Amino acid sequence: MSLLIGCLLAFPQSISAQDRAVDILAISPRAQELTGRFENLLGSDHEKDWWEGWALARDLGVSVESLLEDRWRRNSPGPMERQVLLAAIALSAGNGRGEALLNLGGERLDSPRELVMSHLVLAMGPETTGAGISVQALLGKIRPQLAEPLLAVSTCLALRQFRESGSPTRDWYSSQDPGIAAAAQFSKPTDLPTRWMRRNREHRDLVLRGFLLGGRSSASSEAQRKLAWQVINSEDSSSEMLMAAALNLSRRGVEAPLLTVFARPSFKEYLPALLDSRELRSKLLQNGLLAGQPERRLRIEHRARLALAYGIEADLVELAQSCEEWGRYELTAAAICLGIAWRLYREESAGLEALVQGLPEIPEAEWVRLARGMAPRRDVGGFADAGLERAFALAVQGRLPRQSAAQAIENALWRKGWHLGLTRRETEHALVADLVFAGSEYGGSKLLLGPNARAYRPKGIPAKDQFFHVAYEFFSFERERGPRVFPEFRIR
């Protein structure tokens, strides 16, 4: 229990204005109807119902948090439903996930399944500040060498979300278990034991990926940089290792060799890892690595992200002059138009009239016209995104402030899979999947791992346990991208 409380106490006690909203639904005549609906969805044996229940809890937010907590306390749901309900309560709390779980209280969160599920809920949520001394003090009360590996791994994953928390205990960094060592480095990177550099070490890549991806909110260390370049220059590095190395190097800013390496055809698929940095985007543009027509052999979402970066960074005169060229392909043209509109709203700029005149005939071009203060050519967007449609209707009526319009566009880019921060998020989630789920029967089947795959299997909960069914479905639900971008992934 102390493990979970240690993570939870890292949350700040203040809550956002949104979380102070009056609990309207919980005291309305709809409460009984909602209670029945949640009971049917969250108490179901089918994952599609869990997804619907989780989406409902997330969308209704704090107004149903107490309703869900009441079911947790009074109705004694079974073990499987408790996991499903635990996730729903956290989702309804928005950025206050930790406070919501802490409010559930005491010894009711005492089984390994509930502890790991709680840690996973925190790990998949947004970053937050935290009282690191409380975390460190509580972690110090346990004997890490006796903790089950899965519990140690999940604790480190949860700790990662607290920017001001302390580091995992030293015993976890020096653990012989590759999952614990990888999760500790992923949480807060420190000196890497030399044994993990040996090529014949089982699951070595897990630890190295954790080390390279660790400390995402700060510049990478010299040791991380050295390892990243070793990975880049190795002929047998996996795609997961190369993406982790690229993301790590992107945090160090512009290095001349970086641009040379990523100009090679074999490295073009890793270019999206460099788009988080505005400085790097500018250099990629100068070196011809960002263009209006990304290579069509790349994955669709990677082409969209590269096109978006081009729309955000390219000179407006250049964009106006090359409209005919980049407007030929609807997918990338849509991403470029939304990128242009986002920057115009953010910069409070009217842009160029010539740019507007040459826009392709696609729905997303209307956002560029609106950003310039012009009337759109249509009243209905046709964006295949309900949130962007609602924002468009408000913008047409002059009821959407410019900063709110920019935020609506960025959230839509997130939902569509085009956002510049998604490459980092997806790479981190791939590591979480390999640490927690790959060795389970349910997770391994969903990750399409063959029966002979040498997946890491942390001890603590049997591989065939139903826990992994619920936990993996929640992981997949969160991985599908929520309605709004987390603050730590916003375009800079």
Q: pLDDT for 205-245, tens place per residue?
A: 999 999 999 987 566 789 999 999 999 999 999 999 999 99
Contact predicate 118/72, CB 8 Å: no
Query: What is the C-alpha to C-alpha distance for residues 461 and 269, in angstroms, rounded to an integer?
Result: 37
Task: Indicate whether 25 pLDDT > 60.
Answer: no
DSSP 185-203: HHHS--PPPGGGG-TTSTT
Q: Give pLDDT, residue 75.
A: 67
Task: Indicate whether 248 pLDDT > 50.
Answer: yes
Q: Give pLDDT, residue 213.
A: 96
Q: Give pLDDT, residue 108.
A: 57
Query: What is the C-alpha to C-alpha distance for residues 268 and 49, in angstroms, rounded to an integer?
Result: 40
78 or 21, greater pLDDT: 78
258 or 468, greater pLDDT: 468
Contact predicate 185/153, CB 8 Å: no
Q: Give pLDDT, residue 22.
A: 38
Residue 118 in tokens:
């709680």
Q: Average pLDDT over the chain, rounded to whole?
A: 85
1 or 115, greater pLDDT: 115
For 125-140, the pLDDT digits (tens) are: 988 765 443 444 333 3
Task: Indicate whether 14 pLDDT > 50.
Answer: no
Contact predicate 37/142, CB 8 Å: no
**pLDDT tier at 380 (50, 70, 90 boundaries)?**
low
**pLDDT tier at 110 (50, 70, 90 boundaries)?**
low
**pLDDT tier at 432 (50, 70, 90 boundaries)?**
very high
Average pLDDT (457-464) is 93
Please identify which residue in the block is written with the tokens 């916003």. 490
Contact predicate 216/189, CB 8 Å: no
User: Which of 66-70, 148-152, 265-269, 354-358 shows the lowest mean pLDDT across its residues?
Assistant: 354-358
Helices (H), 204-329: 204-213, 222-233, 239-250, 256-262, 278-286, 300-313, 316-321, 323-326
Q: Give pLDDT, residue 146.
A: 54
For 178-202, the pLDDT digits (tens) are: 999 999 999 999 999 999 998 888 8
Average pLDDT (97-121) is 74
Contact predicate 272/306, CB 8 Å: yes
**pLDDT tier at 168 (50, 70, 90 boundaries)?**
confident
**pLDDT tier at 340 (50, 70, 90 boundaries)?**
very high
Q: Give pLDDT, residue 344.
A: 94
For 279-317, the pLDDT digits (tens) are: 999 999 999 999 998 888 899 999 999 999 999 999 999
Query: What is the C-alpha to C-alpha distance for residues 167 and 174, in angstroms, rounded to an integer?
Result: 13
Q: How far apart, in Å, do the first and last CA atoms of the chain sit?
A: 39
Count Cβ atoms within 10 A of the Cβ of residue 45 and give its class: 0-12 exposed, 13-18 middle, 19 or more buried.
Answer: exposed
90 or 165, greater pLDDT: 90
Task: Indicate whether 65 pLDDT > 80.
Answer: yes
Contacts of 71 (CB under 8 A, 6+ apart): 35, 38, 39, 77, 85
Share of the chain above pLDDT 70, in %: 85
User: Which of 116-130, 382-396, 455-469 shows the lowest mean pLDDT across its residues?
Assistant: 116-130
Q: Give pLDDT, residue 2.
A: 42
Please identify which residue in the block is written with the tokens 């979380």. 19
Q: Give pLDDT, residue 351.
A: 66
Q: Give pLDDT, residue 9.
A: 33
Q: Give pLDDT, residue 31.
A: 76
Contacts of 389 (CB under 8 A, 6+ apart): 380, 381, 383
Q: Give pLDDT, residue 395.
A: 95
CB atoms within 10 A of CB 197: 13
Q: Give pLDDT, residue 442.
A: 96
**pLDDT tier at 122 (50, 70, 90 boundaries)?**
confident
Residue 218 in tokens:
């700060």
pTM here is 0.90
Q: Give pLDDT, residue 16.
A: 36
Average pLDDT (317-341) is 94
**pLDDT tier at 445 (50, 70, 90 boundaries)?**
very high
Query: What is the C-alpha to C-alpha distance for residues 149 and 177, in angstroms, rounded to an integer?
Result: 8
CB atoms within 10 A of CB 152: 28
Contact predicate 474/54, CB 8 Å: yes
